[in-house]
Amino acid sequence: MIEDEFGAYHALTESEDDHRWAFGTGFTDALEGVDTGVAEGIDGDALAAYCLMLGDDALIYSHRLQQWITRAPELEEETALGNIALDLLGQARMLLARAGRADGTGRDEDRFAFFRDEHEFRNVRLVERLDQDFAELVARLLIFSAFRLALFDGLRASTDPVLSAIAEKGVKELTYHRDYAASWVVRLGDGTELSHRRMQAAIEVNWPLLDELFTPHAVEAALAGVAVEVGTLRAEVEAVLDTVLATASLDRPDLAPMAKLRGLAGRDGVHTEALGMLLAELQSVARAHPDATW
């Protein structure tokens, strides 16, 4: 992490509080005031691809969480989920903007979010799912946030100062996301017979998507010292999940991972049918009015 007052972390934390993000609004650049040059020895294209992976995870999952506004069981939970979605949207903004600087194209976050097709997205398939009930929502949020927190914790030592700064800021947010989800998993799992049964079912629905999170990718291998080796995170993340499951009186599932298509999955642009429908909703206004401002 850059410590001095002119570093990336200072620029991110000082300038981002009042930013908004929506297509056509012309709001401030997510990385305004941050030095986004690519250090010597770092492959800019690989760095951009890595930022897209992490940014797409946050963008797609943020949209899924936003769909729960007005549907959560209590107003307090709607507020919490809205805040989590906004945290992830902020992470997506910075990571997608970083990708456009790293690959030299200068593409902004709008271009990446609204004008790529399904096969160009690099998110893991876990974030695409449409939750059928609140139990599925908190089960998925627990798995995703436990993984992303461990990942961002490792990224704080990245040799890319922008990634390091984004991670430093994100760790605080993701700690809350994980703890919020864990509290609900325990509350439902150790609650009534009905809530326990539905919480167990929710864990089992999401569990086959866990393995993909820890599958190494060639992009990560090309960024030694910049990226985190996801395979090294498995023991840490599973220890967290096991602790929560035990506290909630839930059984750890013994289920096979979700199958890949020709050995490819979300990081390679191969997705579930749910992503296409999500993108149709997310991108509809931008694609209908590509040059609009208001």
Query: What residue segments make up the domains of the chain, in order of their start?
Result: 41-287
CB 251 within 8 A of CB 196: no
Query: What pLDDT score was predicted for residue 5?
Result: 37
Shortest CA distance to 182 belongs to which of 133, 234, 131, 240? 240
Q: Is 234 exposed, middle or buried (0-12, 13-18, 19+ CB in 10 A)?
A: middle
Query: What pLDDT score was predicted for residue 144?
Result: 98
Q: Is 171 exposed, middle or buried (0-12, 13-18, 19+ CB in 10 A)?
A: middle
Would you call 157 helix, strand, or coil by DSSP?
Answer: coil
Q: Helix crossing, 161-189 with 193-206: angle to 10°?
A: 150
Distance set, CA 77 to CA 18, 26, 97, 139, 272 (Å): 23, 31, 30, 15, 28
Would you call 166 helix, strand, or coil by DSSP?
Answer: helix
**What is the distance between the alpha carbons of residues 182 and 143, in angstroms, rounded to a whole number?**
9
Query: What pLDDT score was predicted for residue 11?
Result: 52
Task: Identify the CATH homologous superfamily for domain 41-287.
Answer: Ferritin, core subunit, four-helix bundle (1.20.1260.10)
Distance set, CA 218 to CA 126, 223, 249, 262, 283 (Å): 20, 9, 38, 16, 29
CB 122 within 8 A of CB 49: yes
Query: What pLDDT score was predicted for residue 293?
Result: 73
**What is the distance between the alpha carbons of residues 125 and 45, in angstroms, rounded to a whole number?**
23
Q: Sign of the CA dihedral 205, 255, 179, 278?
A: negative
Would you call 264 helix, strand, or coil by DSSP?
Answer: strand
Query: What pLDDT score was predicted for residue 269?
Result: 97
Query: What pLDDT score was predicted for residue 39?
Result: 81
**What is the distance between the alpha carbons of residues 154 and 161, in angstroms, rounded to a whole number?**
13
Would you call 261 helix, strand, or coil by DSSP?
Answer: strand
End-to-end CA distance of the chain: 37
Query: What pLDDT score was predicted for residue 41?
Result: 87
159 DSSP 8-state letter: S
Q: What is the pLDDT of residues 137-167, one digit of tens each?
A: 999 999 999 999 999 999 999 999 999 999 9
Q: Sign of the CA dihedral 156, 159, 160, 162?
A: positive
CB 118 within 8 A of CB 279: yes
Query: What pLDDT score was predicted for residue 292?
Result: 79
**What is the distance between the alpha carbons of residues 172 and 290, in angstroms, rounded to a whole number?**
35
Residue 59 has a CB neighbour count (10 Å cut-off) of 24
**What is the distance between the alpha carbons of residues 45 and 49, in angstroms, rounded to a whole number?**
6
Query: What pLDDT score was predicted for residue 28?
Result: 62
Query: What pLDDT score was predicted for residue 31?
Result: 72
Backbone angles phi, psi at 104, to 5 degrees: 80, 0
Query: Could you report the average pLDDT of every consecutive run of 10 residues in the chain (294 residues)?
Result: 46 50 53 74 95 98 95 92 96 95 91 96 97 97 98 97 95 97 98 98 98 97 97 98 98 96 94 96 92 73
Backbone angles phi, psi at 265, to 5 degrees: -145, -155
